[in-house]
Structure 1
Amino acid sequence: MLNALEILPTSMEPTKKEAPIKEDPERAADQLDPPKPPQKQKLEEVMAHIPSLKS
């Protein structure tokens, strides 16, 4: 499941990069950097919930 979650953001990043970069390269970079930490936090939260669901 973790692999699938990691693949999704990776696939979406290039798509988001192309569109925003055409308007504002700096904004695109800023938008791409922040989303990464939140996604990792979500993964940790998911993993924290998975054991709870199993037990």
Structure 2
Amino acid sequence: MLNQNLPGTTELLYYCLLANGKSLPQPLVFELYQNQLTKSLLENQIQELKNGI
């Protein structure tokens, strides 16, 4: 599975596949996009909590 700790892992994987003339199946693209979105939202919430302390 992807290492969620690395920034831009999803994008990197996507562009690597594109460069090789391959494309990700749509459900996978959507799932990866959702994971990135969720991660961003959580990171924002964590930052807000840290700032509030």
Shorter-normalised TM range: 0.3 to 0.5
Taking structure 2 as the reference length, the TM-score comes to 0.48
Query: Which is helix-richer, 1 or 2?
Result: 1
Q: TM-score, normalised by structure 1?
A: 0.47
